[in-house]
Structure 1
Amino acid sequence: MGMKVRGISYYDYMLLLFVGGVIVLSFPANLLRVWGVPFFRGPYYDVIFVIFVVLALCNLWMSKDSPLPSYYFAATLLLFSTMVFAIGVIRGNENVIAGMKYFALPLIVYMLLVGRRFVLSFYSSNFLWSLVVGSHVFCLLFYYAFLYGRVYPGIGVPSISFAALFFLAKQKYFLLSVSLLVVLLEGKRSLLLALLITMVFMRMVRLSVVGRLIYTILGIGILVLSMYLGLSFLAGITGSAIVNRINLLNPFSGSFDILLGSSGRAGELLSYFRGKDTLELLIGSGSGFTYEWQLGYASTQEGEIKGYFHMTPANYLAAGGLLGLVPFVWMMLLPFRAGALKESNDTRTVAFGLGVFCVVQSFFGFNLATDAVSIIFIIGPMMLLSEQRRPGGATALRSNSLERTS
């Protein structure tokens, strides 16, 4: 089984290969990072970021004669980046420039997607997502054979969750089952929870407004009941490292500990917002903000100076105040644009599911500032829809998709 590309521009094809490569290599790279390989503990991700910036600037230059899609969204991202930079400079924050690497990433991804159609390929490529599953399985076997018990146990990355959602939408249940098992064995609780929530709601994109409301009520009921039964069952299990990590966040378990179970997330929030005045809460602390982690979940981490949170909305609130939440809330709503794409139901479902997953995961991690792929999947449907609304755009989009061949 292979792939072919019809009618796609050379630059689209280059972006497709680069972003696809980043996705496929994300788990091997993370495994090498936790193993302690120096290049993958920082330089690798810096190189990837620089390449994204260069590709985005080149694309913006090539599209300079075309009207910008979703102009108000772009203006909001630019205003937010400018605002947090200015506030950081005025407050005298030490790492203003370094902090902008986080807060300018959505704008960089927007520039990368202007006039481009390669994102549609990720909604239709069986080959890519099968390759992702194979990469995870191979590396997971290596982990359990040589690294288990020697490195940090939460080794998962979002790419396997992307694959699971793709195979769910495409009704390929064997590969879906393998993907779910890998997510569980990789031990990243936030990814598992975000994936389960997304699986419940991802088919909403096919429903009417009333249907979505009914589905949401039923979905929340089923999700709450399932979590209650599942957590009650897990509370009685001991001796499993994976279950023990889940029980730290399980209120029915005797080992429940919000500071330890949240891996420091609760402590981060309490440490930063404790004692903040009203003005700082309204306008934020700007790019390069820092705080003392007074409630680290390990004794060696208490008193550590940190410049970020493991929750995207908290970072936007801390850097830009209440106005800083505007771009985040806007991005939260963008996956619903997938429902208007002139594509098959499966393609719209994949586009919606990937975007929703990235939004849900942002409440457990800083992915909207560190992971360009997540932002691509969130704003991708909006950018594709802008392309389809151009004269002849829908036909061009369909011909530019990455197709599976036997």
Structure 2
Amino acid sequence: MRPLGWWPLFLGMALAAPVLQLRGEVEGPLVLTTPGLVVEGEGAVLRGKEGHTLRLLAPGITVRGLKVVGAGPGEDFFEPDAAIYLRGCEGCLLEEVTVEEAPAAVRVEDSPRAVVRGLRAKGLGESPGVLVYGSPGVRVEGSHLLGYMDAIYVEYSPDMVIRGNLLEGNGRYGFHVMFSWGVRVEENLSRANGVGNAVMHGAQNRVRGNRLYGHKSPVGYGLLVQDERGTEVRENLFAENTLGLVLMDAQGVRVWGNGFQENGTALRITRERGGNSAWVEGNAFQGNLYDLLVDDPGAKAKVVGNRYDRASGLPVPHLPTGAFALLLARQPELSLFALSPGVVLWEAVEAQVPGLRGVALADPAAQPLAKEVRTQGGWLVLGLLGGVLWWRWRA
């Protein structure tokens, strides 16, 4: 057997990724253009004041354990100065990186399959935390983002994965997906953001297993699905929002296996220019002021096999919205009468005599859900105010 000689060693050295070890305080900007470079920044701090502080401009770069402080000062929402900027950085990895005092934490452009994992970032309030544009297959995982306008903002980036993130205290949205398809938004906790979360103007997106709660502004919602085609909203928890889930001009949307708890309105179907078609199945509605409001007269909504704390248990279809709720969806200014003795009495009678209800949106296979004692006075005021402001905003 002939000896292999030295060439395997030389080949291994050639293929080994170059490593850059950062130590102490480093002044930015720092521009990296070496493909496959590994940056070890454990304990190091990279500081910058102008433009992007760290630029990654080659494929396969890994940055691990670095703290980046400062960038900017440009806060333009679509083209902000970022602590870390990726361009032409296919397959790059940011792992366990911390960002402070920068308009945007990470800006990703033309960088397919880049991964942002374990990012910890606090923003300045006007720009996105992670902005992804024109980059298919990007993953944002296990990160904590707060204090931005939108924690994660996405445009024209199909097949993304947004998973296991904590998105809280942002000025507008936790996650905001635009003009994309095949995006998977899974197992995130999004809470107490100024408006809520949104998936808009795309197709075949999947929003699954998220907890979306505490969006209590007058027009706040757990999730807005607008102008989407074939999108699925599955096994999420919508809790303590003014509006739990809003479908607007959404076609072929499937809403199933979700929990709606203690929202002002659990599910609202509305229209702006187009119409809606939806399949609503196997969800649980508990403790909401209203379970369903519809102000799209042409909506094609199949509502079947859900559980309701207001369902009678009788072998008759259950309508998850009352006569006054249907009227209120079309004329929100009537919310001023919601606490009037006549309306309260009528809704009490409806709840006990399902035959008094219309059947257009009835659930023929409704199941009763055990009721819990709750105080909903504050939700009533906030929910009604939200309805009025929503109507004014759309006008």
Return the TM-score normalized by structure 1.
Answer: 0.27
In terms of fraction of residues, the more strand-rich structure is: 2
**Larger relative CO (CA 8 A, sep 6+): 1 or 2?**
1
Report which of the two structures shows the higher radius of gyration computed on alpha carbons.
2
Query: Which structure shows the higher helix fraction?
Result: 1
